[in-house]
């Protein structure tokens, strides 16, 4: 059986993208599963209103969770939950299409360097949830760098009889000489940890649960267990996406810091939940596998509260900018920072510095030719400040800095752009800690056609929000404390 699916290759650098490459899917049957999608989309498809220019989007139709993220031979492979038939959720597939076991829900991919599964050295193996009458785990393998996949004949590899087991994230654990799989338990609010030496036969090793009194009934999804070297010691971070029960409403991604002994993850005593992003639109994010010491993260830039209503056509949804996760210390405790990857330098233009006094309004880009940009602002924290991004229609995003309480607030309503498509989209105040100990705040603000990503102090705080202005915000004003500012346009990845 064949079908076509969209795939992003980020070759050489994370920000060098080519779209619409065909991904051939096959198993032991010789018939089509799903219709072809556009293999070589025209340039017009990537110039629609609200189409992101530095964020990945499918050429058309619905997309949600990033899947199958693995690095090999200079290529960062990205698959995603995709509906080949419509611009709403449904008919889910990614590396392969649905079969008698059900839709193909989220999962991961690994490179089997030493042929533990018996499919050959360096085989790419996709691990995913087969979602039919129950959620069970299955695999498929590729011997041509992810272009074609063959379904394993003895699926499922983990049998199950309910809908509370999904989103397998797999990695090789060298210390215990086995593959480790994390599985989300959905409404049971926990993570299962499984082990295998061959990717086919699995043993359940443990479960992780943590009481969150302020969030008694939420859904745990998309886990990712990641190791870091910090001050000569290994620390582990467990990412868990939750919906509902995010930082504000709807979707969000929390994390736990602790230790993993090859069987069990134990979280440190902290005031959980800790959040990887304080905005409304960063969900289901996980990291690329096989990246050595780098931990490169990508999230779905949307929220289940209004995901099927955002005003995008013929596509719906985008991914966040790739971030490189790092452990940093704040007030004596470790937190997870997520600065944008250094590879963005490859598509960024020259910095332009702006000199002015408080309340000066700068036209910082040419909105007709500059499709996305980065603002870097250094502002003193001895008084409150207001940063305003705006356009010629007087649509604006206001960012408030509360110096005394070390807090940042934005407002998303009809003043920021289109908002009438969903009541849940309007959020009067989106607050976040600045997560800095300095007397001067460094802000990096990445603005695209329909999103604003705000990072403080090299990613110690991240806030990702969708916005839908008539045209990109092209002006900046600052009032309050002393500041310096520079701006650089960023080239479209579709150019």
- Measured over the CA atoms of residue 332, residue 334, residue 335 and residue 338, the dihedral's sign is positive
pLDDT of residue 360: 79
pLDDT of residue 495: 77
**Non-local CB neighbours of 394 within 8 Å, separated by 6+ positions:** none
The three state secondary structure string of the chain is: CCCEECCEEEECCCCCEECCCCEEEECCCCCCCCCCCCCCCCHHHHCCCCCCCCCCCCCCEEEEEEEEEEEECCEEEEEEEECCCCCCCCCCECCCCCECCEEEEEEEEEEECCCCCCCCCCEEEEEEEEECCCEEEEEEEECCCCCEEEECCCCCCECCCCCCCEEEEEEEECCCCEEEEEEECECCCCEEEEEECCCCCCEEEEEECCCCCCCCCCCEEEEEEEEEEECCEEEEEEEEEECCCCCCCCCEEEEEEEEECCCCEEECCCCCCEECCCCCCCEEEEECECCCCCCEEEEEECCCCCCCCCCCCCEECEECCCEECEEEEECCEEEEECCECHHHHHCECCCEEECCCCCCEEECCCCCCCCCEEEEEEEECCCCEEEEEECCCCCEEEEEEECCCCEEEEEECCCCCCCCCCHHHCEEEEEEECCCCCCEEEEEEEEECCEEEEEECCCCEEEEEECCCCCCCCEEEEECCCEEEEEEEECCCCC
pLDDT of residue 359: 72
The phi and psi torsions of 298 (rounded to 5 degrees) equal: -140, 135
- With contact defined as beta carbons under 8 Å apart, do 312 and 63 qualify? no
Does residue 65 have an active-site annotation? yes
Cβ atoms < 10 Å from Cβ of 469: 24
pLDDT of residue 357: 66
pLDDT of residue 28: 33
User: On the CB side of 141, how many CA atoms lie within 13 Å of its CA?
Assistant: 20
Cβ atoms < 10 Å from Cβ of 98: 18
pLDDT of residue 246: 96
Residue owning tokens 């590879």: 343
pLDDT of residue 405: 97
> For 354-381, what is each residue's pLDDT tens digit?
876 677 788 999 988 999 999 999 999 9
> For 283-339, what is each residue's pLDDT tens digit?
999 999 999 999 999 999 999 999 999 999 999 999 999 999 999 999 999 999 999
pLDDT of residue 43: 57
pLDDT of residue 36: 37
Cβ atoms < 10 Å from Cβ of 219: 18
d(CA 280, CA 492): 24
* 15, 251, 315, 431, 477 from 279: Cα distances, Å: 23, 10, 22, 8, 22
Give the predicted TM-score (pTM) of the model: 0.93
- With contact defined as beta carbons under 8 Å apart, do 80 and 301 qualify? no
Closest CA to 138 of 178, 95, 176, 192: 95
**Given the residues 28, 39, 65, 277, the one annotated as active site:** 65
pLDDT of residue 88: 96
pLDDT of residue 22: 28
pLDDT of residue 355: 77
Q: Which two tokens stand for residue 346?
A: 């490859």
d(CA 448, CA 450): 6
d(CA 302, CA 87): 14
Q: Which two tokens stand for residue 109?
A: 């991919």
Question: With 0-12 CB in 10 A as exposed, 13-18 as middle and 19+ as buried, what is 241?
Answer: buried
User: On the CB side of 117, how many CA atoms lie within 13 Å of its CA?
Assistant: 27
- Measured over the CA atoms of residue 320, residue 321, residue 325 and residue 330, the dihedral's sign is negative
User: On the CB side of 381, how many CA atoms lie within 13 Å of its CA?
Assistant: 20
Q: In what order do the strands lie in the sheet with 8-11?
A: 17-18, 8-11, 75-82, 61-72, 315-316
Q: Which two tokens stand for residue 301?
A: 């830039």
Which residues in the chain show pLDDT less than 50? 1-41
Residue 88 gets the label, from left (phi > 0), alpha (psi -120 to 50) or beta, of beta
- With contact defined as beta carbons under 8 Å apart, do 326 and 63 qualify? no
């Amino acid at each position: 059986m064949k079908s076509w699916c969209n795939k992003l290759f980020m070759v050489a650098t994370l920000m060098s993208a080519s779209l619409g490459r065909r991904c051939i899917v096959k198993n032991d049957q010789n018939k089509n599963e799903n219709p072809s999608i556009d293999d070589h989309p025209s340039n017009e498809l990537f110039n629609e209103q609200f189409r992101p220019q530095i964020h990945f989007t499918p050429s058309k139709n619905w997309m949600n969770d990033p899947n199958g993220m693995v690095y090999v031979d200079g290529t960062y492979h990205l698959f995603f939950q995709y509906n080949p038939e419509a611009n709403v959720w449904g008919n889910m597939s990614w590396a392969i299409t649905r079969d008698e076991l059900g839709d193909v829900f989220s999962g991961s991919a690994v490179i089997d360097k030493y042929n533990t599964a018996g499919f050959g050295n360096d085989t790419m193996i996709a691990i995913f949830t087969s979602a039919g009458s129950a959620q069970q785990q299955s695999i498929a393998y590729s011997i041509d760098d992810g272009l074609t996949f063959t379904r394993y004949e003895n699926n499922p590899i983990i049998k199950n009889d309910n809908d509370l087991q999904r989103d397998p994230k797999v990695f090789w654990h060298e210390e215990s000489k086995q593959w480790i799989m994390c599985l989300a338990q959905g409404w049971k609010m926990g993570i299962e940890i499984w082990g295998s030496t061959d990717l086919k036969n699995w043993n359940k090793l443990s479960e992780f649960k943590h009481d969150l009194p302020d969030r008694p009934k939420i859904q745990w999804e998309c886990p990712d267990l990641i190791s870091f070297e910090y001050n000569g010691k290994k620390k582990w971070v467990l990412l868990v996406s939750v919906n509902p029960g995010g930082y504000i409403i709807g979707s969000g991604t929390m994390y736990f810091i602790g230790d993993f002994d090859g069987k069990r993850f134990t979280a440190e005593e902290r005031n959980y939940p800790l959040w990887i992003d304080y905005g409304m639109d960063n969900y289901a994010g996980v990291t690329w596998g096989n990246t050595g010491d780098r931990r490169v993260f990508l999230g779905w830039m949307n929220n289940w509260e209004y995901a099927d209503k955002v005003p995008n056509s013929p596509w719906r949804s985008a991914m966040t900018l790739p971030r490189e996760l790092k452990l940093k210390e704040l007030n004596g405790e470790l937190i997870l920072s997520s600065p944008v990857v250094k590879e963005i330098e490859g598509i960024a233009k020259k910095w332009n510095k702006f000199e002015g006094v408080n309340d000066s309004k700068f036209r910082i880009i040419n909105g007709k030719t500059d499709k996305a940009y980065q603002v870097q602002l250094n502002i003193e924290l001895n008084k409150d400040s207001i940063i305003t991004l705006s356009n010629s229609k007087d649509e604006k995003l206001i960012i408030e800095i509360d110096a005394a309480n070390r807090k940042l607030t934005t407002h998303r309503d009809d003043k920021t752009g289109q908002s009438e498509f969903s009541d849940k989209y309007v959020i009067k105040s989106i607050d976040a800690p600045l997560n800095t100990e300095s007397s001067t705040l460094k802000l990096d603000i990445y603005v695209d056609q329909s999103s604003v990503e705000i990072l403080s102090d090299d990613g110690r705080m991240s806030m990702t929000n969708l916005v839908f202005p008539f045209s990109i915000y092209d002006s900046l004003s600052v009032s309050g404390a002393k500041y310096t500012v520079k701006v650089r346009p960023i080239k479209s990845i579709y150019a």
